[in-house]
Structure 1
Amino acid sequence: MTTPSPTVWPSLRYSDAPSAIRFIVDVLGFDETLVVPSDTGGVAHCQLSWPAGGGVMLGSGEGTHAKVPADAGGLYVVTETAADVDRIHLAAVAAGATSVREPEDQDYGGRVSTFVDPWGVHWSFGDYRGEPR
C-alpha cells in the first residue's frame, strides 16, 4: 500500500536553517527531499519527509520568502487549485485575518498565500503538493 501525498504541512522558519536541517535529518530521522538555496546563502524552501508519511517544510527567516518570523512555525495546507488559494485568502482577510503574503506564484512551483489568523497563528495555503519521495 502506498502512502497518499500529505495535504497539510507544518511550516517552519529558522534563523539558521542549514543547521536546523542537519538536526532534523541527522538527529530526528527525517529524509532530505528537497532544499532550494536562497540568494543570500540561506534556504528559500526545504521539504523534509517523514519516513512513515508526511513531513515538514522550512526555510530561513530572511529574504522575500520569510513571511513567518524566524524560529517560529505555522501550517501549510494544500488546495486543489490555484484559484482556491486566492479565494481562501480573501475569505480569511474578510473575516479578520491579517495578510502577510498576498497570493503569488512561487519559483519552485505552485501558488501560495499566507495570513495570520485573529489569534496569531500563521496559515499558508497553496496548490504545491511537495516533491515526490
Structure 2
Amino acid sequence: MSQPVISTTQVLYPAQRYADARAAIRWLCEAFGFETQLVYDTPDGGVAHAQLTLNGAVLMLGSAREGGDYPARTPRALGGITGSIYVYVADPDAHCARARAAGARIAIEPRDNYGSREYAAYDCEDYWWSFGTYRP
C-alpha cells in the first residue's frame, strides 16, 4: 500500500470509534473515498488504531469498547448524533453520487449554502458527515 502525502497544515485529527471498525474502514474507503494508511490490531481481533487519508488529511479510528483508556460508544448505541465532521471535496455532487451508490444514507441533498456547495450523509454506523467546497 502506498503512503499518501499527509498535509503539514492539519492540526486537528478527528477520531471515531466504530462497533465494527474493519467494516467501517472498508465502507469509508468505498463510499467516501478514503484510503487506508495503517491499521493496528488488538489481540482480540479488533482495531486498536487506524488511519485513513483523504485529500492529504488524516482520520483516525478504532473499535468501540467500554472501559480502558479510550471508552467510546457509537451514535447508534447512544441513540443520536454526538458530533459531525466536515470534509472539503472539490465536487460535492460527484462525491454524493459515489456515497449514495455505496449505500450512504443522504441526509441533505447537494445544495448551495453560504457560498459553498455541500451535502450531508450518515455513514455505515450513523456518524454524520458533511462534504462540500467550504474552506475556512
Task: Give the TM-score category using the shorter length.
Answer: 0.3 to 0.5
**TM-score (ref. length: structure 1):** 0.47
